[in-house]
Amino acid sequence: MSGTLVLVRHGQSDWNLKNLFTGWRDPDLTALGVEEAKAGGKALAEYGIKFDVAFTSSLIRAQRTCQFVLDAVGQSSLETIRDQALNERDYGDLSGLNKDDAREKWGEEQVHVWRRSYDVPPPGGESLRDTGARVWPYYLTDILPRVLAGEKVLVAAHGNSLRSLVMVLDRLTKEEILKLNLATGVPMVYKLNANSTVASKEVLGDMSAAH
């Protein structure tokens, strides 16, 4: 048996609350987002895990979620590696726009295609496939080797960067990944085999709370 990989989506951000496309913009967590991050950390503390290293994105909402989780498991000063490879999908021209305003400007159907298709990017932005194209190499070179060496690794990141990882780990099709939403602050605990396939997966919380 190799190590353990824990994935956590950041808690609710200010722009999640305001229904804005966020992407690479950098709003902070809301009070609810802080509570969600702390709850995820508490679930991991009760699970009894201690980490060897943490990875997060270059965005504050993921970094603060990461820190709240580490505080909860008693590892506040753990080595934490930040990299924009784990950033949220870049929404390009949609970034900062209210989702209802975007529908008014481009039409409901077009906005739905940008949000929910696998390989159609919004103007100036990334599709889910594009997001995976930067997340997967980083996972293979920086994260996976540490898990395969037997370490317990925390990744605190974003809905779409984590969906692209879950797609590979859970062997989901393009159609299946589009239906998957990850709840904020809910840890997913993967134990990997030596050949990097998934031996087991446990969700420590309610995935039906995804928004």
* Structure confidence by residue, pLDDT tens digits, 129-151: 999 999 999 999 999 999 999 99
Position 211 pLDDT exceeds 50: no
Per the structure, how many domains does the chain have? 1
Residue 164 lies in a domain: no
Q: Residue 90 annotated as binding?
A: yes
Establish whether 10 is a catalytic residue. yes
Q: Residue 18 annotated as binding?
A: no
Q: What is the residue-wise DSSP string for 115-140?
A: HH-SS-PPTTS--HHHHHHHHHHHII
Q: Supply 37's token pair.
A: 């991050």
For the full predicted model, state whether its pTM sits above 0.85. Answer: yes
Residue 17 lies in a domain: yes
User: Mapping DSSP to helix (H, G, I), strand (E, B) and coil, where does residue 7 land?
Assistant: strand
The tens digit of pLDDT for each residue in 53-71 reads 999 999 999 999 999 999 9
Residue 41 lies in a domain: yes
Nearest of 43, 47, 38, 51 to residue 80 by alpha carbon:
51
> C-alpha dihedral over 150, 198, 83, 89, to 10 degrees?
-170
Exactly one of 35, 36, 46, 88 is catalytic; name it: 88
Q: Residue 14 annotated as binding?
A: yes
Place of tokens 């317990």: 152
CATH code (residue 63): 3.40.50.1240
Q: Residue 22 annotated as binding?
A: yes
Domain of 26 in residue numbering reads as 4-150+170-209
Residue 62 lies in a domain: yes
Q: Residue 19 annotated as binding?
A: no
Residue 66 lies in a domain: yes
Residue 46 lies in a domain: yes
Exactly one of 10, 36, 126, 158 is catalytic; name it: 10
Residue 160 lies in a domain: no
